[in-house]
Amino acid sequence: MLRLHWKLAIALCGVPATLQAQQPGQRPVLSDAVRRYVTVDRPVVALTNVRVIDGTGRPAVDNQTLIISGTTIQNVGPAARVAIPRDAQVLDLRGRTIIPGIVGMHEHLYFSVYLDENGVPTHQDMRYSFPRLYLAAGVTTIRTAGAKNVYSDLNLKNAIDAGVVPGPDIYVTGPMFRQGGPLTFPDITGSEQLRAAVRYWSSLGVRWFKIYQQATRAETRAIIEEAHAHGGRVTGHLCATSFEEAVDLGIDNLEHQQRVPERKTAGRMPTQLGVCGAARECGLTSSEKPHCATGSSGNSAHFDTRSVSGVRE
């Protein structure tokens, strides 16, 4: 049997969160604030004559029936063959399509705006509207890609899990480590302080961490090692540390980088060039980036490929 999360009744009136086998879960008691968005809430529901896209890459299948009992999909197959329980609420979805709930992997619970013509940023909290908009768009799981207020994100996640407010499943990412700039968390520096920060946020339930542009190789290593030691994962918006370096250090995910590959070296993946210039832009010294040749800048900078073992395939 397949698991169906209760949020999907809000998002798409019974769209399956996944069409792969999972253990059945128990739905929380929904508050009035959540129940106002639920249009179908019966113990057994039959979705009939619907097109199914299962998310595996297989072609869409028409004229299917899904039987949902509680939080599980009990059966899915051709409408002519699937028996509908007598106590089921039947929804004829002829002409409709069902897909797995969408998983958003780079999301935020704030909206960036600017205070003046100098580009000083501020961030508008969107923790009320964004969760509802995600569900309305069929997004039933998100991973935040860096938070401006981790405590609020954790509180929101817990409230959604408890059925108090509507919203998708949330995997909370901690503050952006080594971002710098105004209106952010204190810019913790140094490997030991960053390890302590990872331990602290891990103890509160954060499972993802984001490395930002000013992190040195040593700081990147510390964050990755500490996160992995506590069951967490790491992504990055990198600058001073290159993609190649981060991959060698064991990073789990990559978001962005300031520079892009410009050429290929013999027998290797494209090398990240311009990293040395980016390192200087991020305020790093030659001692923090010893393989950067002094005097080079911008995209003409040379990245010594001997300092890393290359991109894993």
Going by the DSSP 8-state scheme, the letter that residue 255 receives in this structure is -
| Over residues 67-72, mean pLDDT | 89
Q: Which of 143, 161, 151 is nearest to 125 (CA)?
A: 151
Backbone angles phi, psi at 260, to 5 degrees: -120, 160
CATH superfamily entry for domain 101-171: Amidohydrolase (3.30.110.90)
Segments of the chain assigned E as strands: 2-3, 44-52, 61-69, 72-78, 89-92, 97-98, 102-107, 110-114, 121-125, 139-144, 169-171, 173-177, 208-211, 233-238, 256-257, 263-264, 270-271
pLDDT above 80 (res 245): yes
List the beta bridge partners of residue 2: 73
> Would residue 83 be called left, alpha or beta, if left means φ above 0 and alpha means ψ between -120 and 50 degrees?
beta
Please check whether the domain covering 174-313 is classified as CATH 3.20.20: no
- Please tell me the predicted confidence (pLDDT) of residue 252: 97
For 191-221, the pLDDT digits (tens) are 999 999 999 999 999 999 999 988 999 999 9
Residue 5's pLDDT band (cuts 50, 70, 90): very low
| Over residues 175-192, mean pLDDT | 76
- Please tell me the predicted confidence (pLDDT) of residue 259: 55
Architecture of domain 2-98: Roll (2.30)
For 77-128, the pLDDT digits (tens) are 999 999 999 999 999 999 999 998 999 999 999 887 776 677 666 778 899 9
| Over residues 168-184, mean pLDDT | 81
CA distance 269 to 258: 18
- Please tell me the predicted confidence (pLDDT) of residue 268: 42
Mean pLDDT score of the chain, rounded to an integer? Answer: 78
Q: Where are the domains of the chain?
A: 2-98, 101-171, 174-313
pTM over the 0.85 mark: no
- Please tell me the predicted confidence (pLDDT) of residue 7: 53
- Please tell me the predicted confidence (pLDDT) of residue 129: 95
**Beta carbons of 205 and 154 less than 8 angstroms apart:** yes
| Over residues 156-171, mean pLDDT | 96
Q: Which of 89, 107, 104 is nearest to 14 (CA)?
A: 89
